[in-house]
Structure 1
């Protein structure tokens, strides 16, 4: 049986990106920069929104349009494999592409994302992951 997919929302408006950047929690690795912001009662997304939301950005420093789009695609794939199932709920994240994002081996890019999540202390522990899976299993059976 495949592991359940975590529902991840998107940051779409500039003020949302600025709010994450304003939290001043970030970790830079060779392949990416991860910014994080925890929700509080006033800032929590609407009740219908997922507890984890992400945004992707790639500036012209990354390269031309082709390189920026490729960097965003690679980050999107890495976050689907690493961030979505392992991020602590109740956070917004912004992944910032770097010039090295396009050339870095994909396994190293995933390792960068894992390292950044752990350094920012938003990596879901084994106990939390087990609790989340049991809640999802109960929801599927209901």
Structure 2
């Protein structure tokens, strides 16, 4: 089974343009039903951290915190969605549990969390 990670630029652009988004000072979440893997019921996720966040060490920390916050929620996400998490400046100062609570709230509002 392949990794269920969004990596292609056109996937990110499509989700940014057409997906629903939830905004919080710690995290932005984009959600969209996927078309490639809808039949299989596969959920793919991607994480971005722009250079506005800081240099590589800070961006990597933000991605690590988001990845760790998503890990326990992964099995409760409904199948057939593409999700993008965008780190913000406050993400690097937040703990993964704080990010997880924000993420959980955003995914519930988007109707993705079971």
Deviation digits for residues 15-53 of structure 1, max 9, x if unmatched? 0111111224000122110101112xxx22397x76100
CA gap 1:111/1:8 in 2 versus in 1, 3 angstroms:
farther
CA–CA separation in structure 1 for the residues paired with 2:19 and 2:46: 16
TM-score, structure 1 length as denominator? 0.73
Residue in structure 1 matched with residue 46 of structure 2 by the alignment: 55
Stretches of structure 2 lacking an aligned partner (at least 5 in a row):
none
State which structure, 1 or 2, has the greater radius of gyration over its C-alpha atoms.
1
Residue in structure 1 matched with residue 37 of structure 2 by the alignment: 45
Q: Alignment length, in residue pairs?
A: 113
TM-score, structure 2 length as denominator? 0.90
Runs of 4+ in 1 over 4 A off after TM superposition: none
**2:64 counterpart of 1:69:** no
Residue in structure 1 matched with residue 6 of structure 2 by the alignment: 11
Stretches of structure 1 lacking an aligned partner (at least 5 in a row):
1-6, 125-142
